[in-house]
Structure 1
Amino acid sequence: MKQEEKNTKEHNSKGRLREILSVLKRYHITQGIQPDKLCAILEDLGPTYVKLGQIMSMRSDMIPEKYCKQLSRLRTDVKPLPFDVILGVLEQELGEPPEQVFLQIDSRPLGSASIAQVHKAVLKTGEPVVLKVQRPGIKETMAQDIALIKKASGLLNFAAGTGDLIDFRGIIDEMWETTKEEMDFFKEADHLELFYNNQKEISYITCPKVYREYSSCRLLVMSYIDGIQIDQTASLEELGYDMLEIGEKAAENFCKQILEDGFFHADPHPGNLWISDGKIAWLDLGMAGHLSDHYKAILKRAISAILKNDIYELKNAFLSFGTPKHKINHAQLYTDLDDLVGRYMNMDFGTMNVGELMEDFLDLLKTHEISVPSDITLLARSMITMEGTLKICSPKVNMLQILTTHMSAIMAKEFDIKKELRHSLRDIYSSSKKSLEIPAQLSDLLNITKNGQIRINLESSETRGLKEEMGHHINHLILTVLAAVFWCSSAILCLTDISPQIFHMPWLAFAGFCLGGIFMLYLLISMILRRKKK
C-alpha cells in the first residue's frame, strides 16, 4: 500500500511539474519576466502560487520594488468550494455534526481565498459568528507545489532579463514557513487575543472574539462583526461619520501597535478595516508582525534622526536594523543617507510620504547589501499598505506626521529628568578627564614627529578596489607569460627527436602545449566570469 501511495505521489508530482513547465513555456519566460508577466504566471498556476505572490510582495528587501507593487495587486478571491465539502471539514474538526453546534450556516461564503473560506453562522446560543474553514488538503498540496517550484526556479533564474534580480530559491523556504504559520489557525487565534488585550483600553478599536471551544488548527470560529469597509466613504458619510476623524484614529492606533505594542497588523488594506457601531474593527490577523524592544528603540532613533537631520545617528540606526553582507563603504553610505534625508527635509512636513520614504530606505538597504529580519521588511510593507488605505478613505491624514507626534508623546512620557542629569554629569566628567590627557598626548605626538617616527595610515574602498584590480591583472599577466613560455618551449622541442611521440611530436612538447592551453583556458574563463559579475 505504501509503495502504491508513493507511486501515486510521484505520478501526481510529475503531472504537476509538466503543468508548471507548460505555463512557463506559454509565457515565454526565456524572453524575460516583467512584473505583469510574473503575476499572470502565478495566477495561472493556481491558488498556491497566488498566495506565494502575495507574500513575495511583502519582501521588497529581496525583490525589486516594481515586482512588489505588481504582486500586491494579485487577486485574493478564488473559486469557492462546494458547501458539502465545507460541511465535511466542519464535522471532522468539531468531532460532531455541525447542526449540533450551529443553528444555521450560510451556504454562501463571505469570502473565498487560497487557504480558507469564510461563512457566516449562528451558534446554538444565538450568537452570530464567522467560520474560517481551511481548504481540505491545502497544506499537502502547497507542500508539493513548493517542492516543484523550487525545482522549476532554476528555469526562472536563467530567464533572460531578470539576471539575479529575483533569488527564487532564497525566498521560497522563508515563504513556506510564513504560509505554514498562516495555515495554523491556532496562531491566528493567539494573534486575535493578543491584539484584543493590547487594544482593550482603546474605546474606538475592536476585533473579533475567538471561540476557542469550537476552534482548531483548521477551523477558526470568531464573533461576527457587522459593519462597512473603511473605503466605503459615501456610505459612512451618509451615516454621519467624519472620515478625517476615522483616518486619524486608524493611523494613531496603527502607530501605537508599532511603537508601543510591538505587535502590528501586517496587512491593513481596506478589506481588513471596517467601521462597526462607531468603532474601527481590525479583521484577519493571520498575518501579523512582531517588533522586539530592541527594534522599537532603533525605529524611534531613526525617526528622531530624520527630524533632526542627524545623519550620523541615522546611519547608526540604519546599520542597527540589519547585518551587512560585506564590508560597508561608510563614506558612500553617509552620502546616500544625506541625499535621502535632504530630499525629504526640503519638502513641507505635511506632504511627506511615509510609503515613499520606506521604499527609498529599503532600496538603500539593497544597494549597500544589508540584510534585515523579515519582521522589519514586513513592517515597511504594512506601513506602505496603511498609507495607501488612508489615501483612499482620508487623503488629508499624514501618516508620518502622526507617527512622529505619537513618538514625541512617548519620549516625553519616558523622559526622566534625574536620569538625564546623571547621564549629562557622567559625560561632563568623562570629557573633563580626557581633556586633561590632551597635553601629554600632544607632547608624545611632537616627540614622535621630531624623531621621524610618525606614520599615517589611509585606507579607502576605492584604494582597496584598485589593489584588487591590479592583483587580478598581474595574475592574468603571469598566466599569459607562463602559457607563452610553455608554447615556445614546446615549439623548440618539436625540432628534436625525443621519444616517445604523441601526434608526431615529442611527448614533452605535447605536454607543454597542453599546459599552455590549460592556462589560457583558465584565463579566458576567469575573465568572462569577472565581466559577468561587473
Structure 2
Amino acid sequence: AVKLLNLSDALTSVVDMNTVVDEFWTTAKQEMDFHHEAACAKRFKKTYQDVKYINAPEILDEYTTHRVLAMEYIGGIEIDDTEQLDRQGYDRAEISKKLAYNYINQIIEVGFFHADPHSGNLRIDNGQIVWIDFGMMGELNSRDRDLMKQGVKSIVNENTPLLVETILTLGLCKREIDYSKFTVEMDRFMNKYVNMSLEEIDLPAMVQDMFTICHQYAIMLPKGISMLARSLVTIEGTMRVLDPKVNILSVLSSYKSELLHINWNRKLRSVAVRGAESFEDMLDLPIQAKYLMDAIQKGHVKVNLNLLGSETPLANLDRMINRIVVCILIASLLLGSSILCTTELKPEFLGIPLIGFFGFMIAFAMSLWLFVKMLFLHQKNKPF
C-alpha cells in the first residue's frame, strides 16, 4: 500500500490530474457499458487466439446488452491460490514468467493491454492463463508503442542517451530544461539500477524514481502513462505471489532479442515518408531563404539568446548593480549635504542648515543598511 501511495504522489507530480480524472471518468462510463467490455474481450481473445497458454472467455452476443454481459463460464483456479496450483502440479515460476511475457507483449507489441491485472482477474484453467474482466483496457498508438519499446530497449541495453531521447519525445516539457543536467540525472538513475540483479529491482520504486526526475525537470507525461504505471505495479504484485524470485524486469532479458529485432517493412516505409517530406522541404528552401533575406534587409529579424544556467550569474550581477546605485545615491547625498552646509540656509540645527543635517542622517542610515546587507545577508544568498 505504501508503494502505491508513493507512486500516486509521483504520478501527481508529472501527470496532469485533470486529464487523469477525465481518463477515469471515460473508463468508468465504458465499464458501465457492457457492449464496450464485450468488444474488448472479443478483441483480446482474437489477438491471442494462436497463443496456446493465453485465453479469454467467449462472449455470448445473443444475450449481451448494455446492462448485461453474458460469457462462457471460466472455472479453474484463481492465480493467487498457490496451494491449489501446487496440488494440481503447476509450475508457478513458469506461470509467472509467461504472464509477464504476455503482458509485455500486450504493451509494446499489440498496444492493447489489460489495465487491471490483479489476481481476481486471472485464472488458471486447463493449462492456460485466462484473462477476465475487460472493462478497463489501456491502448497505445503506434508512436507511443514504439517509444515504449525504445524505452525498454534503452533500459535493457543500459543506453542513457536513448532513454533521455525517449522521455523527452514521449513527454511535454513545461519549461526549458538543461539537457546536460537532465542527462546526468538519468545516468545516475541508470547506474542506481544497473548494478542490481533484475530480481533485486523494486519496480514500484524504480517507476517512482523516474517520475520524480520528470517532476524535477517539469516534464509532463501523457495521461495513458498513469494507467500503464498503475497496471505495471499491479502485475508485479500478482507475479510476486506466484514466485517471489521473478519480476517483470527479469522477463525483459528474455524479451531482449525481440526488442532488438528491426521491422524492415515499417522502417522502409518510415524512410520513404521522411524522404518525401525532406524533398518537399528542400524545394521550399530557396523561397524561405528569399523571405529571410527580405526580412533582414527590412530589419524585421530579431534574435533571442537564452543561456541555460545563466540565472545565478545574472542574479549576482543584478545585486551588484543595485549596490552600486545605492553607493552613488549615498555619495550624492553626502556631497549635496556638504554643499548646503556652506550656506546660511534657514532653519539651522547645531549651526548647520536643517536640510543638510537630514541629508547626512539619511546617507548614514543608507550606509549602515548597505553594510549590514553586505556583511550578513550576502552569506545567505538572499536577493538584494
Q: 1:343 aligns with which of 192, 201, 215?
A: 192
- Tell me, yes or no, if the aligned pair for 2:93 and 2:246 is still in contact at 8 Å: yes
Change (3 A) 1:277 1:60: farther
- Residue 367 of structure 1 aligns with an amino acid whose one-letter code is Q
CA spacing shift, 1:300–1:167, aligned 2, 3 Å: closer
Structure 1 match to 2:261: 412
Shift of 1:410: 4.5
Q: Which residue of 2 aligns with 1:238?
A: 87
C-alpha RMSD of matched pairs (Å): 3.5
Instruction: Supply the distance in 1 between the matched residues of 2:250 and 2:46 (Cα, whole angstroms).
Output: 27
Alignment match, 2:311 = 464
Deviation at 1:296, TM superposition (A): 1.7
Judging changes above 3 Å, is the alpha-carbon distance between structure 1 residues 286 and 472 closer, same or farther for their aligned structure 2 residues?
Answer: farther
Would you say the 8 A contact 1:256–1:406 is kept in 2?
no
Pair 393,408 (structure 1): closer, same or farther in 2 beyond 3 Å? same
Q: 5+ unaligned residues in a row in structure 1: which ranges? A: 1-34, 37-53, 65-164, 427-456, 479-534
Matches of 1:216 and 1:415 in 2, distance apart? 43
Q: 1:57 to 1:374 in 2, by over 3 A?
A: farther
Distance 2:306 2:224 in 1: 39
> Quick check: 1:58–1:377 contact (8 Å CA) kept in 2?
no
Report the equivalent of 1:318.
167
Cα offset for 1:61?
5.3
Query: 1:364 Cα shift?
Result: 2.0
Amino acid at match of 1:192: A
CA distance in structure 1 between the aligned counterparts of 2:193 and 2:171, rounded to whole angstroms: 23
**Match of 1:464, as an amino acid?**
E
1:120-159 equivalent positions in 2, closer than 5 A = none
For 1:239 and 1:166, locate their aligned partners in 2 and report how far apart those are by CA, in whole Å.
Answer: 44
| TM, length-normalised to structure 1 | 0.48
CA contact (8 A) 2:115 2:136 kept: yes
Matching residue of 2:204? 355
Supply the distance in 1 between the matched residues of 2:314 and 2:70 (Cα, whole angstroms).
Answer: 65
Q: Do the aligned residues in 2 keep the contact of 1:300 with 1:407 (CA within 8 Å)?
A: no
Q: Which residue of 2 aligns with 1:395?
A: 244
Question: How far does residue 467 in structure 1 lie from its aligned partner after superposition?
Answer: 3.7
Q: Structure 1 pair 288/253, CA: closer, same or farther in 2 (3 Å)?
A: same
- How far has the Cα of 1:338 moved from its partner? 0.7
SS of the aligned residue for 1:219 comes to coil
CA distance in 2, matches of 1:469, 1:326: 23
Structure 1 residues 468, 171: CA separation in 2 closer, same or farther (over 3 Å shift)? farther
From 263, 286, 292, the equivalent of 2:112 is: 263
Give the direction of change, closer, same or farther, for the CA distance of 1:222–1:260 in structure 2 (3 Å limit): same
Residues 101-148 of structure 1: per-residue CA shift (max 9 Å, x gap) = xxxxxxxxxxxxxxxxxxxxxxxxxxxxxxxxxxxxxxxxxxxxxxxx
Structure 2 counterpart of 1:329, from 168, 178, 181: 178
Name the CA distance, whole Å, in 1 between partners of 2:250 and 2:184: 25
| Structure 2: unaligned runs, 5 residues or longer | 276-304, 326-384
Do the aligned residues in 1 keep the contact of 2:156 with 2:252 (CA within 8 Å)? no
Verify the 8 A CA contact 1:390 1:397 in the aligned structure 2: yes
Find the counterpart in structure 1 of residue 68 from structure 2. 219
State the alpha-carbon separation in 2 of the partners of residues 346 and 387 from structure 1. Answer: 21
Question: Match of 1:280, as an amino acid?
Answer: I
Larger RCO (CA within 8 A; separation ≥ 6)? 2
Counterpart CA distance in 1 for 2:52 and 2:111 is 20
CA distance in 2, matches of 1:220, 1:469: 68
Higher-Rg structure is 2
Pair 1:308-2:130 in alignment: no
Q: C-alpha distance in 2, partners of 1:317/1:353?
A: 22
Q: Percent identity?
A: 32
Instruction: Describe the superposition over 1:387-435 as per-residue Cα deviations: whole angstroms up to 9, x where unpaired.
Output: 111111112223112124224225336369x97xx99xx9xxxxxxxxx
CA distance in 1, matches of 2:212, 2:29: 28
Distance 1:333 1:215, change over 3 A: same
Give the superposition deviation at 1:219: 1.8
